[in-house]
Structure 1
Amino acid sequence: MLSLTSCYSSTTVTTHEDYTAEDLTGRTTATLPTLDPQPIVAKATSTLPATVRSQDGTDVTITDTSRIVAADRYGTLAQTVYALGLGDRLVGRNTAAAFPAIDKVPNVTPAGNTLSTEAILDLRPTVFLTDSTIGPDAVQKQLRDAGIPVVFFDPTRTMEGVGPQIDAVAAALGVPEQGKALRERTQSEIDAAAKDVPAHETPLKIAFLYLRGPAITMIAGPGSGADSLIKAVGAEDAGTASGLTQQFVPITSEALIAAAPDAFLMMTDGLESIGGEDGLAKIPGVAQTPAGKNKRVIDMADSVLLSFGPNTGHVVAALAKAIYHQ
């Protein structure tokens, strides 16, 4: 029997109808009780073979899930494998899958998000889970040529996509019952977090900034995933509202001033890569925004902020607490 009991305590956020952006200033780091996803069962048993349609249009049959390698830009697939109760079979992951429970699992992306064919083959995987956010494509082709089942999943990361992604991974690994239970638990946690988001007459405008040192500075727009998360915490995506049409565009002073965010949302490592709040203040246009004037920054661990995996409900709850209760 599957257990739907969560080890997390819910986060309660008091509603403030009279909330205004000026009420909050400074930096707040949103944190989870633990970065480890909670397995839906202690140890799952796969029913195989399982044949699924890969995102690239290929029908893939999986006959063995004893050695799983999972790699995507945000570590979502490894989180999902672990939460399905298959963590003991995860033999390879990428840098973004950085939660403590799999810290000792070998990393197959020694150079950022670049897959290493040799590193993967050395692990003797029986199935490789991935998507188009990580590559190069030649690696996945080489793995298929070597006889390894390679399953591509939808690379889109949104609130609406959390459940379907869990179902898809569960189907590929032959654990659909665990997938159904994990999807229901995750949705229940998302719904509970949404109920605790403070109500306010004028939604806060939040801009998501993706930074990797001074050379890579981007502001998010529609379809970035960040817009979906910002909406989930009762706020408005500043980039989208300002008229951006792409998922990410280079930061310019004009773009920031037009967005006029009340707060910035960022990954913690990205914020630190430019020298923290002091470095952020030096980016052209930041000082001219309400967020810049109030030094209002909310940051969260890179490995969970945009993963939209089984921890999503806890991410929403933690962000709501950080945004509205400094």
Structure 2
Amino acid sequence: MRRLVPLVALVLAGCGGVAGSTVPTSPPATLTLDGPATARIAHEDVRPVDPVTPRLPVTVDSFDGEAVTVSSVDRIVAVDLYGTLGEIVFSLGLGDDVVGRDSSTGFPSAADVPVVTSGGHDLNAEAILDLNPTVVLTDTSIGPPEVPQQLRAAGVPVVFFDPTRTLDGVPDQIRAVAAALGVPPAGDALVDRVTGEIDAARALAPTGSSAPRITFLYVRGTAGVYLMAGPDSGADAMIRAVGGVDVGTDIGLDQPFVPITSEALLNARPDVILVLSKGLDSVGGVDGLLRIPGVGLTPAGEHRRIVDVDDTDLLSFGPRVGETITALASVLYGS
């Protein structure tokens, strides 16, 4: 299983080994991107499936090993690091019942829902209890860990889900959330739609030609964080889905994220650099990114082939993941 590590862990990641690699000196013929671009998904907001009446109570096995009984979904709090759980709940047609969210749940229909994560990604027990929730959906990507226990001690059902974020794991994640909310038929309907969109998006990648070499850089200029993605970063799965080669994995990085070095970038020779939109803004846009040592000397840097993706879209692996793959493919290949 491929796991998307929490962003807190990224800063602490160590350098992996960098092996020698032979790479092409010119971009693949299939790559039509010529300069900076933003990959925008087709639907800014979620698209709920047809409403299904919840069948309650249900007892589910929480990911932390507890059996949790959910008797009401009238007041749902959905919180995780990536906004995945909130997106699933809204997509299942239960958005009107969500009373609390995390700061990563950023699509328009959730805009008026109170945020219960103080400081960006820390759970606030008092803020959650003030909302009188009937169920809290979460995972171990967000904390502190004592907060869910405080909520349980107060009588609130808290259901944990698998914190792993992978493309292949999207259907199971949707079905698990649907089961906890008593709407398995809605989960099945959403899975059918999402898997169809993923398959259609993957088909947009050209075949029979050399694959573009793509790297994902996680940058936060305000925090002085400059990281290059490798295996198990989550970004590697998205790069493969659009028919690309994840250069961090290809050159032998052995960590999901490692500090950017000129040596690694020059050895990797990416054709395209992928970044989060807010990260790009934090370093002063494309020009600022190119000033990071090594970036401007890569084929991607020389041709300014920088693709940014909204922070809440690229790594959440939620119901709109097929749309994200489609948006990336469209930017890369003009699909």
TM-score, normalised relative to structure 1: 0.91
Report what 2:64 is aligned to: 56
| Aligned-pair CA distance for 1:257 | 2.1
Aligned partner of residue 74 in structure 1, secondary structure: coil
Measure, in 1, the Cα distance between the counterparts of 2:273 and 2:151: 40
The within-5 A match list for 1:80-229 is 80-213=88-221, 215-229=224-238
Which amino acid in 1 is paired with 2:292? I
Q: 8 Å contact 1:35–1:304 — kept in the other structure?
A: no
Aligned partner of residue 299 in structure 1, secondary structure: strand
Which amino acid in 1 is paired with 2:266? I
Q: 8 Å contact 1:21–1:262 — kept in the other structure?
A: no
Aligned partner of residue 130 in structure 1, secondary structure: strand
Report what 1:294 is aligned to: 303
Q: How many residues align?
A: 308
Aligned partner of residue 38 in structure 1, secondary structure: coil
Which amino acid in 2 is paired with 1:48? L
Measure, in 2, the Cα distance between the counterparts of 1:321 and 1:22: 10
Among candidates 250, 266, 269, match of residue 241 of structure 1 = 250
Measure, in 1, the Cα distance between the counterparts of 2:225 and 2:321: 26
Report what 1:5 is aligned to: none
Measure, in 1, the Cα distance between the counterparts of 2:251 and 2:214: 11
Deviations 1:82-120 (A, max 9, x none): 000100101111110000011000011131111111111
Measure, in 1, the Cα distance between the counterparts of 2:31 and 2:77: 46
Among candidates 274, 285, 293, match of residue 284 of structure 1 = 293
Measure, in 1, the Cα distance between the counterparts of 2:208 and 2:221: 35
| Aligned-pair CA distance for 1:255 | 2.3
The within-5 A match list for 1:16-31 is 19-20=28-29, 23-31=32-40
Aligned partner of residue 185 in structure 2, secondary structure: helix
- Segments of 5+ residues of structure 1 without an aligned counterpart are 1-17
RMSD between aligned residues: 1.6
Q: 8 Å contact 2:35–2:305 — kept in the other structure?
A: yes
Q: 8 Å contact 2:117–2:124 — kept in the other structure?
A: yes
Q: 8 Å contact 1:69–1:128 — kept in the other structure?
A: yes
TM-score, normalised relative to structure 2: 0.88
Which amino acid in 1 is paired with 2:128? I
Q: Percent identity, please.
A: 53
The within-5 A match list for 1:32-47 is 32-41=41-50, 43-47=51-55
Deviations 1:139-158 (A, max 9, x none): 12211221111111111111
Report what 1:10 is aligned to: none
Deviations 1:131-176 (A, max 9, x none): 1111111212211221111111111111101101101100111101
Which amino acid in 2 is paired with 1:134? I
Measure, in 1, the Cα distance between the counterparts of 2:191 and 2:34: 36
Measure, in 2, the Cα distance between the counterparts of 1:259 and 1:137: 39
| Aligned-pair CA distance for 1:307 | 1.2
Specify whether residues 100 and 23 from structure 1 end up closer, same or farther in structure 2 by C-alpha distance, changes over 3 A only. Answer: closer
Report what 2:270 is aligned to: 261
Measure, in 1, the Cα distance between the counterparts of 2:96 and 2:126: 22
Report what 2:331 is aligned to: 322
Give every structure 1 segment of 4 or more consecutive aligned residues whose post-TM-superposition deviation is greater than 6 Å.
Answer: none
- Segments of 5+ residues of structure 2 without an aligned counterpart are 1-26
Q: 8 Å contact 1:28–1:323 — kept in the other structure?
A: no
Report what 2:11 is aligned to: none
